[in-house]
Amino acid sequence: MALALLAKDWADAQGGQVLAVTVDHGLRPESSIEAEQVGRWMAARGIAHHALRWETPEQESGIEAAARTARYALLETFCRAQGVLHLLVGHHQDDQIETHVMRRLRGSGVAGLAGMAAIREMTGMRVLRPLLGTPRARIAATLRSRGQGWIEDPSNQDIQFARARMRVSGKSGFSAADVREHGHARVAHERAAAELAARAVGVDPSGFAWLDIQAFREGPDHISRTVLANVITCVSGRVYPPRGARLDRLWARIIAGDMDRARTLAGCIIRPAGLGKICVLREMSGVSAAVHRPRATMRWDNRFTLILGGPAGDRHVLDAVGRGDQAQIAELAGVLGLPRDVCSVLPALFEDERIVAYPSFRPIVDPSDPTLRKLYVRFAPQKPVSGVAFGKV
């Protein structure tokens, strides 16, 4: 509530507009009534309000994580439909300290201990957390000063959840200064990783990447390990980087010059490519399932945005090139000038099991072209190798 009112003040001064969105998870019987109350409060303040309902899955464990994933998916879809580029969320300083403590208990590294980022880049939008440096008590005082009520979610005090147990006990043992210290460390770490990536990594528009082994070795161990994880995350289309013993073993082999054959990790194949380079490409077994009668514009495999040059019919299927006829795969690899294994994990349009539209990396001039001979493909992973720097408050 406080974030919505403050955002409206700021937007009004800039000649802008604010939309308020409530995600109703449906986890409590009264949640819909509460969403309606928020809508009435927003209307009284001249703020347009939308309630998004999550169809709750039937599961007994991991409900917090599932709800969080669903919440951001609903919000991202809403923002895209509304043409909204910035999504403001209300995490505050107390939330940040709790996040730091929980990650410390899980043994997180530099990135995790810095807590939540003030800025988070997502596909087609940006998440902002402008209240991360503001204590909860100050936020409540702001609402009281404006005569604005609010609703407390009882789930925040439900001790079946780890975060709530910590909140109820009030014994985190850490302060905002502790989090800021780790935030500074993360900023320095990410800057060093970006500098090494600029020297050692290349990313191709067709969705694969390569490492220059010599340049890669020149970075400090903890930085080059981060760069390797970032490259794999980028190419795989995932959100979270790989970690643990398998990543450590792969990194050690690359540093030692012991990459004698291809390895797999986190949905990627990592193989020697000659000329002192390592190639990182998507693993075929992890590629998205076929899409029947695809839309004119869509995302595919969490890696590409697609524009189809013409309407799709009932017999058209969007699928990976590698699931087609072997002769066509070889022919298409030659046409595109790409290695066969790179070509195999690209999208193509099929009709009766034959490729009728192959991927093009140049924009389609006329999207109404009815010939279906073009499929514009833009590599747009969820996590670029070096995205926006960690934003600390």
List, for residues 338-361, the tens digit of each pLDDT value.
Answer: 999 999 999 999 988 888 888 888
In the prediction, which pLDDT does 230 show? 95
This prediction has a pTM of 0.74
**Least confidently predicted of 39-43, 91-95, 176-180, 371-375:** 371-375
DSSP 290-342: PEES--SEEEETTTEEEEESS---TTEEEEEGGGS-HHHHHHHHHHHT--HHH
In the prediction, which pLDDT does 353 show? 84
Stretch(es) of the chain classified as CATH 1.20.59: 178-284
User: Is pLDDT of 220 > 90?
Assistant: yes
Of how many residues is the chain composed? 393
CATH homologous superfamily, domain 2-174: HUPs (3.40.50.620)
Contacts of 370 (CB under 8 A, 6+ apart): 310, 311
In the prediction, which pLDDT does 295 show? 86
Q: Higher model confidence: residue 185 or residue 32?
A: 32
Stretch(es) of the chain classified as CATH 3.40.50.620: 2-174
Topology of domain 178-284, CATH: Chorismate Mutase Domain, subunit A (1.20.59)
Q: Average of pLDDT values for 119-145?
A: 91
Question: What are the backbone dihedrals phi and psi of residue 91, each rounded to the nearest 5 degrees, phi first?
Answer: -60, 140
User: Is pLDDT of 148 > 90?
Assistant: yes
3-state secondary structure of 25: coil
What is the layout of strands, in order, in the sheet containing 119-122? 86-88, 125-128, 119-122
In the prediction, which pLDDT does 159 show? 46
In the prediction, which pLDDT does 363 show? 61
In the prediction, which pLDDT does 369 show? 52
3-state secondary structure of 53: strand
User: Is pLDDT of 390 > 80?
Assistant: no
Q: Average of pLDDT values for 300-325?
A: 87
Using a 10 angstrom Cβ sphere, with 0-12 exposed, 13-18 middle and 19 or more buried, the burial of residue 17 is: exposed
359 touches 348 (CB < 8 A): yes
Q: Average of pLDDT values for 259-266?
A: 93
Q: Average of pLDDT values for 252-259?
A: 92
CA 32 to chain centre: 28
Cα–Cα distance between 171 and 10 in angstroms, integer? 35
Q: What is the mean pLDDT of the chain?
A: 86
